[in-house]
Amino acid sequence: MTATTDGSSGPVGAGAAAASRATDTHPAERPAASDVLEAAGRAAQRSVEHLLGRQDAQGWWKGDLETNVTMDAEDLLLRQFLGIQDARTTEAAARFIRGEQREDGTWATFYGGPGELSTTIEAYVGLRLAGDLPDDPHMARASAWIRERGGIAASRVFTRIWLALFGWWKWDDLPELPPELIFLPKWFPLNIYDFGCWARQTIVPLTVVSAKRPVRPAPFALDELHTDARLPNPPKPLAAAASWDGFFQRADKALHLYHKVAPRRLRKAAMNAAARWIIERQENDGCWGGIQPPAVYSVIALHLLGYDLQHPVMRAGLESLDRFALWREDGARMIEACQSPVWDTCLATIALADAGLPADHPALVKAADWMLAEEIVRPGDWAVRRPQLSPSGWAFEFHNDNYPDIDDTAEVILALRRVKHPDPHAVDAAVARAGGWTLGMQSRNGAWAAFDADNTSAFPNRLPFCDFGEVIDPPSADVTGHVVEMLAYEGRAQHPRTRRGVEWLLAEQEPSGAWFGRWGVNYVYGTGSVVPALTAAGLPLSHPAIRRAVRWLESVQNDDGGWGEDLRSYRGEQWIGQGASTASQTAWALLALLAAGERESKSVERGVALLAETQQADGSWDEPYFTGTGFPWDFSINYHLYRQVFPLTALGRYVHGEPFALRAGSREGG
């Protein structure tokens, strides 16, 4: 058995999980080969009915977006910092946090994953705020585990910032991030637009927090989380001066000195400029970027700058945070890091259409109407690098006009084209605008990223401050694949920009035959995104890249006929393509194999049979595993609708055929 760094098993362990899953699915009951098509048709019909029943009256779909308990712990810390705690919210959050604790006292960042230090520290502090005591058995187990792994001093920067707000950590022992960063010109290294949009929205308010260095009275001590209460902040050795890490560590020391001598007028001007930047990017619903972390830090920053809690900006911001809360039947309260209605709606539309729902079905028309109304028609931060580009596109969330998402835009176009809308001219006009915007967002290397073009500077990731997750937005194979697929569907398979995208994808293929998945787990997702794009763009099914991908997918198929890949594949090669079978990952593999012409293969037959036999009576699938990715490894997501839309798409294409085969040449030349 191969061991990982966290002591859990590698591929053999993953295979055991898959074997267990295979046992649970009663393979003896699997339909004969001749009956697989019939079983797939019945499963698809049940799934269609289930998905139609989940559509909102306005036309959208949205599944829960589950992450980890840091969202809930930080919500409690924010309420403590602002003095807006209430007993009902505190107890509901604590109930959820307690329910996520593992037997060893820790908290993980994904289902079945190892305990994670910073997450465990934040969960522990959140429960202390809720009244749990250090001597309580579940708390004692957590604190002992934390001490064994270095205590607070070994946690990430963001965790220590939260603790510094209450004096549990020293501001002097945190990396410095001056608000004067807002004045750096767009061509200068480390200007705010060198960061990915999610990092940019977080860093700008944190520069204000870093300059103000507030400390609220701590309601209790946290000595039990230090390895040595007398020396809570041990100094860390510097890297070699000639290395980039060494350079940035020494630059951080210089910035700490600057903090003490920064000209008051310049610093005040910088903080005012940061405040204007923050307020200008507040969405109509009061949030920032449609995601919870920037909203939290923006509220704190503005509060430190004198905005009272009744100010319209603050009031709207705090109200928006409540909309991230999901109240459960058991009284627990879970915080979503984000909400995904546009993404879920376009994927559901594609799934239903590919499963044979009539193109003019009222549910599809209503979904198209809602998506058309969500088109973004004003410039956002993306225009910094593409100032001449006409605005369009779709975001991921209900309200996020500053940051349309290239991935969402490609999939929305694919969804709109599957609907027979009563106003086809409106659809054509929106698709033309969005298609032009998407083409213009291509990066210099020929590929597409999620939010920005050419957001590839190597410097932001090297800052001592940036020790958690991705802070830049380079192009990825999965987004590029979706864009290429959309462009081919629009008759632009031979467009020079499409061909450059295809060339980039071919160059990015791993020696194994797989593609890396940036926004989904992991190589199964990347491969499931790219193969349908390449075949749609005209690559012959016999192309070596397609055959290598097929061989890789067949090589990692589980004994039960499904596919699964553990999030640990982002860190350990032994996990690549290894994990318990899931509905969404099985569907991704099937989408690739079907696009590659493997409909009659045993691999496809076995995968389809698994989806049919693991479907629940109500037409849904169960999937506790996290198959979505915010930041590879560091921030994982369980999209609760993935387990519904992707299996239905795969079953629909198995039963009804590939959408490109049905439309071959119908839009070519556009």
CB burial class (10 A; 0-12, 13-18, 19+) of residue 8?
middle
Find the length of the chain. Answer: 670
Query: What token pair was written down for 272?
Result: 């005012």
Residue 455 CA to residue 196 CA, distance in Å, equals 7
Strand partners, 335: 325
Cα dihedral sign, 651-655-658-662: negative
Do 418 and 353 meet the contact criterion of CB atoms below 8 Å apart? yes
| CA nearest to 486, candidates 588, 585, 406 | 406
Residue 413 CA to residue 597 CA, distance in Å, equals 24
Do 617 and 611 meet the contact criterion of CB atoms below 8 Å apart? no
Q: Which spans in 214-360 are helix H?
A: 244-261, 264-280, 292-304, 312-322, 341-354
Whether 407 sits among the annotated catalytic residues: the reply is: yes
Q: Which of 407, 408, 473, 560 is catalytic?
A: 407
SS3 state of residue 9: strand
Report the number of secondary-structure helices (H) and strands (E) in the chain.
Answer: 24, 5
Residue 332 CA to residue 86 CA, distance in Å, equals 14
Tell me the helix, strand and coil percentages in the chain, rounded to 5. Answer: 55, 5, 45
Q: What residues contact residue 213 under an 8 Å CB cut-off, 6+ apart?
A: 164, 171
CB burial class (10 A; 0-12, 13-18, 19+) of residue 548?
middle
DSSP sequence for 479-523: HHHHHHHHHHHTT-TTSHHHHHHHHHHHHH--TTS----SSBSSH
Are β-strands 65-66 and 635-639 bridged in parallel, bridged antiparallel, or unpaired? antiparallel
Q: Known catalytic residues?
A: 407
